[in-house]
Chains A and B, each alone.
Chain A
Amino acid sequence: MTLLSIEHLNSHFMTVDGIVRAVDDVSLEIGENETLGLVGESGCGKTVLALSLLRLLSENTKTDGRVIYKGRDLLKLNEKELRGVRGKEIAHIFQNPLSSLNPVLTVGFQISEPFLRHQGLKKSIANSRAVQMLGLVRIPSAPDRAKEYPHEFSGGMRQRAMIAMGLACSPSLIIADEPTRGLDVTIQAQIVELMKDLIKNSGASMLLITHDLSLAAQLCDKVAVMYSGEIVEYADIKEFFKGPAHPYARSFLESVPSRGMKPIRGISPSLINPPPGCRFHPRCDCSMDICKSVHPPLTEVKDGQHARCLLYA
């Protein structure tokens, strides 16, 4: 069953330098109980895509397309209806917990807010639920810790608090944007184990946004690779790691230190003036003449593995 389906989503920023096509005609589906990894390098548009879903972008953004969640188009909801979805049905765990937490409110209060808002619980009950949530994400001596402020938490604990807040109202979909960025490997391992458990126990779906392919390998069922605002590959996680079809996806995987640390030549293209034809052709080792002029569609290469490349068209 499909939980969320994104259809022809565009998110363009109107800037003085021109139109930045951060998300360009993206279609994706996330099934129930499924974790989809959206991977790509900085500036490829993955975070913007995530922010578009709950309409969290600034005024100068033009978003169109459809985001169908449980039969409703999220892009057509009014602010009030949207508030009923945010945090309750779909939770967003942001990058960089320090700037996402309010520095002048206690962590406990911030976790209890969704209970007060969405479930109308009494303050004392909401409070004890917040403490429970902190315990669930394995923060030791949770009742005392709930009374502390974000600056008193370590990086790993702040990330746990963010996860607790996201899971508070048992959402059906969790959007997690780089949940382990900036954490030490040992703490990363703790967070990964925790997220695996929580996802399994709650039955929620997840959209995991990351630049770290090894994180996607550990957590995801499916993976979508984004390059220059477009999805260039979409596949089952195991198929993907056996051998990506798209040349960019292949190079991206080979640039990971444990996979050979082979550099990709050139730099990512500008989102204002992407190269004509295939956007990866200036950096591609398999590029043909036709790649310079024809924009490739996303085509199925083999069972469930899709690539946006003229080699397969």
Chain B
Amino acid sequence: MASMRGVSFMLEVQGLKKTFTSGLVSKRSVKAVDGISFNIADGETFGLVGESGCGKTTVGRLVLRLIEPTEGKVIFNSIDVLKLNKKALRKLRPQMQIIFQDPESSLHPRMKIGDIIAEPLKLYNLVPKANREKKVLELIDMVGLQPEHVNRFPHELSGGQSQRVVLARVLALGPRFIVADEPTSSLDVSVQAQILSLMNTVQEEFHFSCLFISHDLNLISRMTSSMGVMYLGKIVEAGSTKELFEEARHPYTRALMSAIPIADPQTKRKKIVLEGEMPSPMNPPSGCRFHTRCRFKEKICEKTEPQLIDLGEGHRIACHLYAAEDKRLVIRHRVTVEI
């Protein structure tokens, strides 16, 4: 395991980029992910939050090499994932798994639940044939399903039950790292609570690290210990979840935080309603990508792209309102936002 400043990381991502190109004659390209770095400690859950189209799902796929990155480095458990050949990557797969958004489409419609969960055990020959059935029943029990579910087909299950099956299949391999891409976005709120508390339980038991991707800050605050906020392919602010929720600095993070819906009509909060929508990543704004929607925009924001600077203790931010001079943080303007 790699270590930096005494902290060991399960996953290190450095300068990750992905450019998608399309068109035969006139090539157009989209920088879906444009230079992203973050680390996930052993057993930790890192949250990636942003609006749809910001590139968060692409990041999840890149770190597992489900799609090939254009540039950058992904170090998993001291292994440089991007340098592996196909065979070596396949050998590593059991340790790095993913839970997709839509559980129903992640399950083969013609396979029985028992076979679906046994499939990875078979493929990687992790458990001898004689013990497979027992192992499947163990996993089924662990995710809160009944033994009779083994003989059912995916269409006979509810959304929440399907996601439990997906989780059982992932756990069958005993992974060290799991990407959870909006694992509950298609579920009801009471079922969402069931699945997420189940995820917390099994994470304690199996001790894996997790990249939790979501657009829902309420979930990020519950599930993660550190987080990054993405906007148009870049991380604009990152840090410990607690600190970001208490003291977000970037105007975009602040707007996102203030838009979190509160389930209480008595709580009145000044909302920062962002105007307009996220610009197209085909043609991102010059300078700071957020300047078209930012309330604190200055001349410099239109021209120069702000670099990520370290505010200490892992809190990083890319905004011209904050500038590092002589390694000392200078807040150029006092940002006062009425929340």
Contacts and interface: CB of A to CB of B under 8 A. Distances in A.
B189 interface: yes
Nearest to B276: A140
Interface stretch (B60-68, B105-113, B210-218): B210-218
B2 interface: no
Interface in B180-214: 188-194, 196-197
Chain B interface size band reads: 35 or more
Interface of B: 51-52, 158, 160-161, 188-194, 196-197, 215-219, 221-222, 255-256, 259-266, 271, 273-277
Contact of B189 (A190, A252, A268): A252
A290 B217 CA distance: 42
B263 A258 contact: yes
A2 interface: no
B263 A263 contact: no
A218 B276 CA distance: 21
Chain A interface size band reads: 35 or more
Contacts of A259: 263
Given A185-B256, A193-B273, A261-B197, A41 B264 contact: no
Interface in A189-248: 189-190, 193, 211-215, 217-218, 220, 237-238, 241
Nearest to A183: B52
A267 B271 contact: no
Contacts of B271: 189, 193
A220 B263 CA distance: 12
A41 to B, nearest CB: 4
Interface of A: 41-42, 140, 154-157, 184-190, 193, 211-215, 217-218, 220, 237-238, 241, 251-253, 255-259, 261-265, 267-268
Given A154-B277, A261-B193, A264-B194, A188 B261 contact: yes
A140 B292 CA distance: 15
Contacts of A257: 189, 192-193, 216, 218-219, 221-222
B263 A253 contact: yes
Contacts of A42: 188
Contacts of B273: 186, 189-190, 193
Contacts of B190: 41, 251-252, 255, 263-264
Contacts of B215: 184-185
A132 B194 CA distance: 46
